[in-house]
């Protein structure tokens, strides 16, 4: 079971994307837990994650979050995928990152 952490300004704006990602993961047979949090919680929630994704509105925190979560893939969610709430595209990227 993979742990996917999404970070945004308050942990709220990514909730719809989380729902769509869960559905896409289920359809793909990819077992994972996906949750959204405020970016301020990165050190505590990202420490044991398999992948950490930043919402486009907090992508300026990328280097800081990478430092806080050493050895864990951290990247910004594709803006087009985020804007379209394309859970399938985002979960596909997660699967590439964890080599499933």
Count CB atoms within 10 A of the CB of residue 83.
Answer: 10
Helices and strands, counts by H and E, the chain: 5, 4
Q: Is 8 a catalytic residue?
A: yes
Q: How far is CA 25 from the centre of its chain?
A: 13
Options 4, 8, 49, 58, the catalytic residue? 8
85 backbone φψ class: left, alpha, beta (φ>0; ψ -120 to 50): left
Tokens of 56: 């486009």
Q: Are 30 and 59 in contact (CB under 8 A)?
A: no
Query: Which residues are catalytically annotated?
Result: 8
């Amino acid at each position: 079971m993979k742990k996917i952490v999404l970070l945004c300004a308050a942990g709220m704006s990514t909730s719809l994307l989380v729902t769509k990602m869960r559905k896409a993961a289920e359809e793909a047979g990819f077992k994972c837990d996906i949750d959204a949090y405020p970016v301020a919680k990165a050190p505590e929630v990202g420490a044991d994650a398999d992948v950490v994704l930043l919402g486009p509105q907090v992508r300026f925190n990328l280097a800081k979050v990478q430092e806080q979560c050493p050895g864990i893939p951290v990247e910004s969610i594709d803006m087009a995928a985020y804007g379209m709430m394309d859970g399938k595209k985002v979960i596909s990227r997660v699967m590439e990152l964890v080599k499933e």
